[in-house]
Chain A
Amino acid sequence: MKRILLIIKNDVKRRIKSPLGILLFLLIPIVMTAIIGMIFSPRAGNAQLPPIKIILVDNDKSLGSKFFTGAFDTKEIKDLFQVTMAEENEGKRLISKGKASALIIIPAKFTDDLSNQKKTTIHLIKNPSEEFLPGIVEEFVNTMGIVISGFVQVFEPEIKIMKKFTDMDLENLSIPEATPFLEAMKTKFLSLKKFTSPMLIELKKETSATDKKKKEPEFNLFALIMPGMLVMFLLFVVEGIMREILADKENGILQRMMFSPLRIMDFIISRIFSGFVVGVLMFWIAVVIGALLFEIKWGNYWYLFILIALTSFWAASFFALLNAFFKNRNQAAAFSAPIILVFSAFGGSMLPLEQIPAQMRWVSTITLNHWFITGAIKIGSNEFPIVPLLVLFILGVILFILAVISLNRRIKI
């Protein structure tokens, strides 16, 4: 036991002494999270993202709701969302069948309430099987809500007047007739920037067919991206440490260790736990950075601790096992990188799971990435991620046992 701890301590110390490699692997996911977060942020409305399907139910069919639905019709937004108008019942049926990422219901009297400065609520029903895309919709609707709320407060008199022309055909409104309005609107537009009054539109979010009472945490796109990035780079770091099993074997270090009363088994176990410890350390640094930099609310830190520990353990055991089958370091390097990339692509580190063709999605369930990401998001929404934790634990133990047995058999000094 003393010897096992010694080797772990030594391995970790060596990492810390030359931390450049790990820092780099820590920096990359953080920078990538930042970049992707900004590109995909709904505020930017980027064309790279395939259109998100949403169903819009307009029970108001008036000026305000037109303004709202019209927002989905602008060029940039069109690239982001694919909007289907529907009646409420039909919309609810479609979302429950998972035909779209989100359903937005604009209530009846939306415009009236707005112009009377009354609170009104837009319903957002999210597809429960998706995490990422409905989040974007939510963010967008939120933004729209803010804009319309502010707009209505500032342009209240104009809206009231326009309401009177409801029966008028708005499209034929001629510019000269509207000129006085436009002048007034211009001045108000400038003051709009300063608006701070309470929001009139409240967004009511639901996830279709799940517990409606549950309070959902604030949506943070970074919180969806960072776990995936992080686990991908954890795989790289831990793989590097596990590969040292072969390095130590090649440069005589392992042989020298065997001159002492140390057993091969001790060495293997130590090395796996070295990977584990470094993985956990790296994870926590990233978690803190994520919380500070991206304001990610990770959720219960004890749950997160368990998830991180099991994830690191899984990764260390997995790569230890792989190294039992590699002949040398070069071979390990050549095979490991593609494996990590495939894991990351299918496990949700690179793109959200819902973007992967349905018939390929099962692949994600064999990846570490998937289970860590799922777990992290669950913890983020204040759940105890029992399934991910169980899967990681059971697979981790199996991998660990297999790794110890096969390395013990295959390492010849």
Chain B
Amino acid sequence: MEKKILEIKNLTKTYGELTALNSFSLSLEKGEILGLLGPNGAGKTTMISILSGIVKDFSGTVTFKNENLFSNRELKNYMGIVPQDMAFYEDLNAMENLMFWGGLYNLPNSTLKKRAAQLLELVELGTRAKEPIKNFSGGMKRRLNIAIGLIHNPELLLLDEPTVGIDVQAKVNILDIIKNVGEQGTAVIFTTHQLAEVEQICSRIVIMDKGTLLAQGTMDELIRIVGGKEMVDVEGEFSANHFSEIIKNQNHQGIEILSVSDNLANLAFDNTDLIPSMMEQLFKNQIVVSDLKIKSPNLEAVFLKLTGRSLRD
């Protein structure tokens, strides 16, 4: 059985001068949960929008279930998309919404009914199925929003920032749902700003910025990018320029600046023994260090190394 379900090749999308996606390639297998990680403006939404048919006029190819995704309308029956903004009829209840949205796909009515009931259990809205959506909390609405994307039992599910703007409990809830969906064999791509989320549930992670894929792999594979280095965060009273000048001028072998801003620097050390000599240099240059943290290698470090900026702007 063919395992590959999606193959994206050389996707390029420009808005005037701006290149939102730059020769982006990616492939996905059944049951994989892929986290698409990137800072603001990286091109995540653009990617999802091309796949869902909203954004047109791009170059490159997308093969879905061994067919050109854009040549066969019926392929949409196998793809579920959860838009970032909630989109459903608030004047209908959850069950009615699922029946309506599911009805747009090729499903017999009896299957649809069963599936709707199952999904309502999955997103923990089983007891609220007949209640007006107006009474729903933000988290409940988000769960319904996801359920609607799953109603036709798609083979590929796309979610754009499904956890933005909700409380911790609701977030955990949604991640559980996504994990569950993946376990049932549906391939998932979801975009996020949150490192913790991808660490928790993704089988594979893609890091992108400025429209370009920077790295991909499992957690372990990605962390190897920063090697056996130690991560050090330095906080104090300094300007970004001054700080990097000092580190560079002292020609510190084995210290790498991952990112630096005023009053905060993220460094990678080959060896923590180098820390005292760095502190000495900083002291000589009248820089007061207020805090210094040593961390083991993590995804954040990988991200910093690749993009030079933090995820949360």
A residues apposed to B, CB below 8 Å = 2-3, 6, 10, 13-14, 17-18, 251-253, 255-263, 413
B52 and A259 form a contact (CB under 8 A): yes
| A residues in contact with B87, CB < 8 Å | 251-253, 255-256
The one of B53, B103, B148 in contact with A6, judged by C-beta atoms closer than 8 angstroms, is B103
| A residues in contact with B81, CB < 8 Å | 256, 259
The one of A253, A261, A413 in contact with B89, judged by C-beta atoms closer than 8 angstroms, is A253
**A271 and B13 alpha carbons, distance in the complex (Å):** 33
The one of A17, A251, A253, A261 in contact with B74, judged by C-beta atoms closer than 8 angstroms, is A261
B residues apposed to A, CB below 8 Å = 52-54, 73-74, 76-77, 79-81, 83, 85-89, 91-92, 96, 100-101, 103-106, 148, 152
**A259 and B76 alpha carbons, distance in the complex (Å):** 7
B104 and A255 form a contact (CB under 8 A): no
The one of B54, B76, B85 in contact with A260, judged by C-beta atoms closer than 8 angstroms, is B76
The interface centre, meaning the residue of B52, B79, B88, B103 with most chain A CB atoms within 10 A of its CB, is B103
Taking CB as reference atom, which chain A residue is nearest B77? Answer: A261
Prevailing SS type, chain A contact patch: helix
14 cross-chain CB contacts under 8 A: A10-B100, A13-B96, A252-B83, A252-B86, A253-B87, A255-B83, A256-B81, A256-B83, A257-B104, A259-B76, A260-B101, A260-B105, A262-B104, A413-B54
| B residues in contact with A261, CB < 8 Å | 73-74, 76-77, 104-106
Prevailing SS type, chain B contact patch: loop
Are A252 and B53 also in contact (CB < 8 A) when A17-B92, A18-B91 are?
Answer: no
B83 and A260 form a contact (CB under 8 A): no
A14 and B73 form a contact (CB under 8 A): no
B103 and A3 form a contact (CB under 8 A): yes
Taking CB as reference atom, which chain A residue is nearest B73? Answer: A261
A252 and B52 form a contact (CB under 8 A): no
A258 and B105 form a contact (CB under 8 A): no
| B residues in contact with A262, CB < 8 Å | 104
10 A-B pairs closest in CB distance:
A252-B87, A260-B104, A256-B87, A6-B103, A259-B81, A261-B76, A261-B73, A10-B100, A253-B87, A252-B85
B104 and A3 form a contact (CB under 8 A): yes
**A158 and B312 alpha carbons, distance in the complex (Å):** 106
| A residues in contact with B53, CB < 8 Å | 258-259
| A residues in contact with B89, CB < 8 Å | 10, 14, 253
A253 and B88 form a contact (CB under 8 A): yes
Taking CB as reference atom, which chain A residue is nearest B132? Answer: A17
**A256 and B160 alpha carbons, distance in the complex (Å):** 13
CB of A58 to closest CB in B, whole Å? 66
| A residues in contact with B96, CB < 8 Å | 13
A255 and B88 form a contact (CB under 8 A): no
**A259 and B100 alpha carbons, distance in the complex (Å):** 14
| B residues in contact with A253, CB < 8 Å | 87-89
| B residues in contact with A413, CB < 8 Å | 54
